[in-house]
Chains A and B, each alone.
Chain A
Amino acid sequence: MSLWLLLLLPLVGACCIFPARAPLAKWIALGTSMIVFVMSIIMAVQFQCWGTSGICLRSPMPWINSLGLTLDIGVDSVGMLLVLLTTLLTPICIWGSFTAVSKRRREYYAWLLILETAMLGVFTAQDLILFYVCFELTLVPMFFLIAIYGGDNRAHASVKFFIYTFTGSLIALAGFVYVAWQYQVASFGTWSFAISDLTAFASTQMTSTEQAWVLLALLSGFAVKIPVFPVHTWLPLAHTEAPTAGSVILAGVLLKLGTFGVYRFVLPMVPEALVVYTPLIAVLAIIGILYAALICWVQDDIKKLVAYSSVSHLGFCVLGLVALNPIGLEGSVLYMLNHGLSTGALFFLIGMMYERYHTRDMNVIGGLAKKMPVWSVFMVFFVLSSVGLPGLNGFVSEFMCLIGTFISTPDAESYPGVLGPCYAAFAALGMVLAAMYLLIMVGKVVFGPLREPEHHHEHHVLSTDLSAREIGVLAPLAALCIWIGVQPTILTDAMRGSIEGVLAPYPAIVEQLELQEEVAIVVEEEQNG
């Protein structure tokens, strides 16, 4: 029951905001999200499933019996980590936008709280349709956040964001329903949308052709959200136009819905098809890494640069997912958290700068270290975390994803995969490029001679450098970055059980695939010889 409370509390908070007076809205929102955060911390401390593959805090409620729909929620260890990320980022976002929002304030905070409910729903849903409902529900608050509070091109950005994701997930829905129908046929007319039922059924009883179609359908939903290379174009636009808190949530949590979807559905549901198409997905991920990195290199707009860097970084995340071994997968999940922390913080920093200078063009602005030393310290810190400086969080996860890819060869002892050193080498190039474009950006914006926009007037509300509130927003993120960088094993140990559970069927399937290929080669040789 406590999980339901966690889920519905933000919704209640959102409802309380509307009758309240506008200046009070932000305090209600902050209060609600802080209570949710504290609750989630308590739940995490008492969580029974750390290190195991089980699903805890399960509390199903009946829904539509004739179709086997239930309101069933519960979390595994990976889901719990992402729940924590969500409950952490939401109050920070609310606190961080105290000065940024001036119009329609009540709605703004209400949408953020509704968004929190939807995101928590995605990470905790144990029923497919409940998952889908929450997955789609995230679109609505985000659409309004971009469309009401965004930049000049906000109408276009919000519609593009909505339509891309909506289209993709409708196809994914068709895939989900297809699996449910197959299950119903196999179980003589009993419908079920429980994720565990459908996963167990699809992974063992569907043919590899059927699995391939399901894979295609699911990927068209999740790949748009992640985003993977050819369908990433909505992201830079949405990020650039979104208000700061919107960008932070978008990068911090919403993109993870895609990778979490892959972890939760694609990996366990369609193993046979996934093994066949892994190289293709990996190639798309690597193209995304390199292509987005090259685009970053030529950006003048700092926010756009960070937005494209998300595309590049999420490529590593996907690569780790399809490495099909624990190191890669753990790295990938860790990457989801780290990217949420460091890129979220970068968006905050850019937002703080924008509030003061009303520009994000790094040709116009520069040398801010002289004017805003505290801001600059944080900027350099989070850029280094994003680049992957050893000792900070980014390094650990990036390294694990690459190692995972590197050792994911067919002849590996435990957990053979279908990638290998070649894939890792190309992906590693992305790390070099990331260092280049991010450090060039830091060099221009933070260091060098002070450059400010010509008609710049001192902001009358904001201090020149960061205020105590702004430092308060960034400091917890920075502390977590260091903590994860130094102690990643606590997290990787916590999620190991779940990850090994997901990967359990893979070694056998990969070996079988190799065997088939060898047989095919032998047959071909015999025919030729």
Chain B
Amino acid sequence: MVDRLFLLTPEFILLFGAIVCVIAGLSNLAVIRRRVGFIACGFLLASAVSVPFVYNSSAVETSDALFPHLGAYVKFFTAIISIILVMAAGGLIDRNYEHAVAKGKDRFHALRSSGGEFHGLLLLSVTGLMLVCEARDLIWLFLALELVSLPTYVMVAMSRWSRIAQEAAMKYFFLGAMSAGLMLYGFALIYVSTGSLVLQEISATFQAQMAVGGGLTFFAIIGVLLSLFGLCYKIAAAPLHLYAPDVYQGTAAPVTAFLAFIPKTAGMLAIILLLSMIGWERGLPPVIEMSLWVIAVLTMILGNIGALLQQSTQRMLGYSSIAHSGYMLMGVIAGPPLGLTAVFIYLVIYGLTNTGAFATIASLTKEGHRVDRLEDIAGLYKHNPLAASSLAISSGSLLGIPPLFGFWGKLLLFIAAISAGQILLVVIAALTSAVSAWYYLKIIGLAILSPLTEQSQRVTVALKWPLIAAILSAIIAIGGPFALSSMIVDANQAMMLPE
């Protein structure tokens, strides 16, 4: 029990951080209120630093999770990427209000300030993601997943002072509730077929069922399928991706980056946990493999084709992040060891570069309004070469141009999928990536090459921290491949089974 709690140290740090953030956000002193982001970053950093200590201790050996070492990799990298996400959100919340207070036009009133809540909710959501990798039973898994999602609904609503954001939040919430129901129903059916909620016991029952020769029972398969569909919502995969474009467009850019990474990672981990109860050694049951295959292909095609047609930067990047879920599902289908390694690494690479792209958008403003149309970024290079270059490098990395980081992620996925004999899937992925070249090049072309237009003339780089986040992730996109070798070792270790 103590060991188990000890493993949750990174989560406890964040939980504490969330409380501190909420309190600090209510402070009368503007100096403290404005430092809430730093406080959140500090706790995230502390959480990341604690991870190696926690996972090098003896507590891991007694762990009864499916993958005892999974947290070492996931918690560390999510904490690091979350720091960049917090940086990208710097200056987003309460901007006008704090401005007015600072100028003496308005008086500070705790009820009207939301910076503390925002950062608190953000840390809670990250905590949820960390808890997913410690899940021992289905209830834990479900609660952790809900802890990931529930704060995000509020974050979407408070990210912008506009009706579109409220609408996005409502859509996100209702579809989220539906998918949670779907998932819970699936969990219930898994319980029906195995009589247990504990992951290891379910796994043992599944193995026993398959060893008999008849394969999984009907209820087990339906249960897993329903859970998978529910999780498709979290990772924004077809057919439950339809909310994504609207929500991603309606929300402020840094929150979109958050939505496109944290819930997606949580969903992907949950899918991996669910499927590893069945195991890849005997081959996934044909129905499940077929469904995953169709989901992956549909997601790649719909995501990339959808992105082609967009005029809004955020919507386009939203569609592109749908497509990336499709690529990652290739790795899930391929299974361990290569496939899961590839997914873990891809998640980190995608999270970094996607955040970089959104952070650049977040740093821009058009006379106080947000920058959303594609033509707004035309000629960005003339305003701010750094911002334009960061956006271009992030897009290039998402596209997978070697030697940028994104290429290596895709290469690992290709290797994994081909090793699993999924050659057709790889060819589809290659062709859809080629389609994606079209819209990523459009972003690069507009940012670096286009002349300024009447519209884009009014765009300026207003926020410092998002720009720093964007530059940071661009630097990682270039320098990251040098760390790839050790990342592969870490990711392999993450999947080590208990002895």
- Please indicate whether A and B come from the same complex rather than being unrelated chains: yes
B204 neighbours in A (Cβ, 8 Å)? none
Cα–Cα distance between A93 and B302 once the two chains are bound (Å)? 43
Cα–Cα distance between A171 and B434 once the two chains are bound (Å)? 10
Which of B402, B418, B419, B423 has the most chain A CB within a 10 Å cutoff?
B402
Select one of B423, B434, B492 contacting A167, CB under 8 A: B434
Q: Is the interface of B mostly helix, strand, loop or mixed?
A: helix
Cα–Cα distance between A143 and B442 once the two chains are bound (Å)? 12
Select one of A65, A137, A144, A147 contacting B402, CB under 8 A: A137
B434 neighbours in A (Cβ, 8 Å)? 163, 166-167, 170
Select one of A129, A171, A177 contacting B418, CB under 8 A: A177
How many of B's residues come within 8 Å of A, CB to CB?
A: 28
Q: How many A-B residue pairs have CB under 8 A?
A: 78
Tell me if B415 and A180 are in contact (CB < 8 A).
yes
Given contacts A147-B449, A170-B433, contact A163 B418 (CB under 8 A): no
Tell me if B403 and A133 are in contact (CB < 8 A).
yes
Given contacts A177-B414, A177-B415, A181-B418, contact A163 B441 (CB under 8 A): yes
Q: Among B122-130, B311-319, B483-491, which stretch is in contact with chain A? A: B483-491
A171 neighbours in B (Cβ, 8 Å)? 427, 430-431
Q: Does B438 touch A at the CB level, under 8 Å? A: yes
Interface size class on chain A is 20 to 34
B485 neighbours in A (Cβ, 8 Å)? 63-66
Q: Does A276 touch B at the CB level, under 8 Å? A: no
User: Mask for A150-189, Cβ within 8 A of B = 1, else 0?
Assistant: 0000010011001100110011011001101100100000
Cα–Cα distance between A181 and B421 once the two chains are bound (Å)? 9
Select one of A67, A133, A140, A148 contacting B415, CB under 8 A: A67
Cα–Cα distance between A259 and B431 once the two chains are bound (Å)? 23
A177 neighbours in B (Cβ, 8 Å)? 411, 414-415, 418, 426
Cα–Cα distance between A173 and B427 once the two chains are bound (Å)? 10
Q: Does B19 touch A at the CB level, under 8 Å? A: no
Tell me if B403 and A137 are in contact (CB < 8 A).
yes
Q: Does A132 touch B at the CB level, under 8 Å? A: yes
Q: Does A477 touch B at the CB level, under 8 Å? A: no
Q: Does B396 touch A at the CB level, under 8 Å? A: yes
- Shortest CB–CB separation between residue A267 and chain B, in angstroms? 23
Given contacts A136-B402, A155-B449, contact A174 B419 (CB under 8 A): no
Tell me if A159 and B438 are in contact (CB < 8 A).
yes
B431 neighbours in A (Cβ, 8 Å)? 167, 170-171
Q: Does B401 touch A at the CB level, under 8 Å? A: yes
A434 neighbours in B (Cβ, 8 Å)? none
A484 neighbours in B (Cβ, 8 Å)? none
Which of A129, A137, A173 has the most chain B CB within a 10 Å cutoff?
A173
Tell me if B430 and A140 are in contact (CB < 8 A).
no
Q: Does A139 touch B at the CB level, under 8 Å? A: yes
Tell me if A173 and B441 are in contact (CB < 8 A).
no
A158 neighbours in B (Cβ, 8 Å)? 445
- Shortest CB–CB separation between residue A124 and chain B, in angstroms? 16
Cα–Cα distance between A167 and B488 once the two chains are bound (Å)? 27
Tell me if B448 and A140 are in contact (CB < 8 A).
no
Tell me if A140 and B396 are in contact (CB < 8 A).
yes
Q: Does B437 touch A at the CB level, under 8 Å? A: yes
B233 neighbours in A (Cβ, 8 Å)? none
User: Mask for B390-420, Cβ within 8 A of A = 1, else 0?
Assistant: 0000001000011100010001001100110
Residues facing A in B461-499 (CB within 8 A) are 484-485, 488-489, 492
Cα–Cα distance between A359 and B366 once the two chains are bound (Å)? 41
Tell me if A66 and B492 are in contact (CB < 8 A).
yes
Tell me if A159 and B426 are in contact (CB < 8 A).
no
- Shortest CB–CB separation between residue B385 and chain A, in angstroms? 10
A-B contact pairs, 14 of them (CB 8 A): A63-B485, A64-B488, A66-B485, A137-B403, A139-B401, A140-B401, A148-B449, A162-B437, A162-B441, A163-B438, A170-B433, A174-B430, A177-B411, A177-B415
Q: A137-B402, A171-B431 are in contact. List 12 more A-B contacts (CB 8 A).
A: A63-B485, A133-B407, A155-B445, A158-B445, A159-B438, A162-B437, A163-B438, A166-B434, A171-B430, A173-B411, A174-B414, A177-B414
**Contact residues of B with A, CB < 8 Å?**
396, 401-403, 407, 411, 414-415, 418-419, 423, 426-427, 430-431, 433-434, 437-438, 441, 445, 448-449, 484-485, 488-489, 492
